[in-house]
Amino acid sequence: MPASPVRFGLIGCGEIAMHSVKALQGLSESCAIAAVQDVVEGLAKDTGERLGVPAVTQVDALLARNDVDAVVLSTPHFLHAPLAIQAAKAGKHVACEKPIACTLAQADEMIAACHAAGVKLSINYISRYSGMVRKAKELVEAGAIGKILRYQVHVAADKPESYWSGGYTGRAKSDWRQSKEKSGGGVLVMNLSHNLDFVLWLTGLVPERVYAEAATHLTPVEVEDNISAVVHFRGGAIGSIDAMSCARGKESFGDRLYGSEGQLVLASPLRVYTAREGVPGLTKGQWTDVDVGKGLYGTDERGAYFADFAKAIREDTTPLISGEEARKALALCVAIYQSAETHEPVKVDHR
């Protein structure tokens, strides 16, 4: 393995892949794009010409290349597991868009295959690299708000009808987002799983059981566009989760942590209230807007993700967002979906 840069092959050249291209292009000292693949020849050719690299339509052809050290999976969710397993068997490290998979069985197969092949697996939950999230973790670990009692998240989006067949840009046309089998779910797993991942990480909270209700109100698809859940965490904390992808007017209330000694609002600016004396940068009994800095590596979140993943490959360490870490958010999503279907409390599957 070369010391630098790590050479990436892109599998999938649709909308989200273009964000990864931009991030990787900003990391020329540690990362490079060696080749690209998409089953849609026009997408593969367009991306290859933009980057000046070979473009192919067959995954096998990309994985056979000796100048590809790792792959970036920017494909529909149901393809994450088979493609990750195929890449691992070819000896390629795997950076995969979220969620890790549609089911826990698929996720476990991905994790096992990458371990067996001795390659790294990481899932692109990029919010962990934001200055806001990292500062919030620092404050929680410093005891600024005491013991976590409650987590509240509210996400409100208004996705246009065109999103369900072409994403936000229409670069790649497909109906996979409409199918529960192909996507794993709607607004919860597609969007809110970001929030679940970073809150579980920054707090250390472990969800034990959930009760949920979901519906599809205004969107002509199989997946939910409205969902609510109550979560019981180990140690007694409670979570309330509300998300919509059909919220006319949008206006999300965001994420908030309530503790025995204060509150923390995960927004811009990051706001903290503490009842404690002596917390650096905070005043007891007052709300404070906290400077969060630029985040890890001083770059954008996606760029930080790839820089960190490349570092894990070069130094043979575990990526921050390993397969096992990403499985935690999926396990909570799966339990929420099961509860919404059965209208009964469901235990969260921990491994």
| b/e 157-178 (16+ beta carbons within 10 angstroms → b) | bebeeebbebbeeebbebebbb
> Rounded to whole angstroms, how far apart are CA atoms 240 and 218?
23
Q: For strand 148-156 and strand 238-244, is the pairing parallel, antiparallel, or unpaired?
A: parallel
Distance CA 245, CA 252 (A): 11
The pLDDT of residue 219: 95
Query: In degrees to the nearest 10, what's the CA dihedral of 289, 295, 300, 303?
Result: -160
pLDDT exceeds cutoff 70 at 2? no
Question: Is pLDDT above 50 for 145?
Answer: yes
Per-residue pLDDT of 301-334, as tens digits, reads: 999 999 999 999 999 999 999 999 999 999 999 9
Structure tokens at 155: 């996400």
pLDDT at 42: 97
Q: Name the DSSP class of 320.
A: T
The percent of residues above 90 in pLDDT, for the chain, comes to 92
Q: What is the mean pLDDT of the chain?
A: 95
**Reading across the β-sheet that carries 6-11, which strands appear in turn?**
55-56, 31-37, 6-11, 70-73, 93-96, 121-123
- In b/e form, how buried is each residue of 37-62, taking b as 16+ CB within 10 angstroms? bbebeebbbbbbeebebbbbeebeeb
pLDDT in tens, 159-196: 999 999 999 999 999 999 999 999 999 999 999 999 99
pLDDT in tens, 237-288: 999 999 999 999 998 888 999 999 999 999 989 999 999 999 999 999 999 9
User: Tell me, what's the pLDDT at 1?
Assistant: 46
The set of long-range contacts for 282-289, using a CB threshold of 8 Å and a minimum separation of 24, is 282/144
Per-residue DSSP letter, 297:
G
Q: Where are the beta strands (DSSP E) in 20-166?
A: 31-37, 55-56, 70-73, 93-96, 121-123, 148-156
d(CA 20, CA 263): 34
Q: What integer pLDDT is reported at residue 294 of this predicted model?
A: 67
Q: Cα–Cα distances in Å, from 202 out to 108, 141, 305?
A: 23, 8, 16
Cβ neighbourhood burial of 278 (10 Å; 0-12, 13-18, 19+): exposed
Residue 298: predicted pLDDT:
57
- Cα–Cα–Cα angle for 124, 258, 237, rounded to 5 degrees: 80
pLDDT-based confidence at residue 300 (cuts at 50, 70, 90): confident
Name 238's bridge partners.
150, 232
For the stretch 36-47, pLDDT in tens is 999 999 999 999
Query: Alpha helices of 271-322 — where are they, by DSSP H?
Result: 301-315
Q: Which domains does the chain have, with CATH numbers?
A: 6-127+300-319 (3.40.50.720), 130-296+329-347 (3.30.360.10)
* Residue 225 near residue 157, CB atoms below 8 Å: no
Q: What is the mean pLDDT of residues 220-247?
A: 97
What is the C-alpha separation between 275 and 282, in angstroms, rounded? 10
pTM summary value: 0.95
Residue 214 confidence (pLDDT) above 70? yes
Which amino acid, residue 190? M
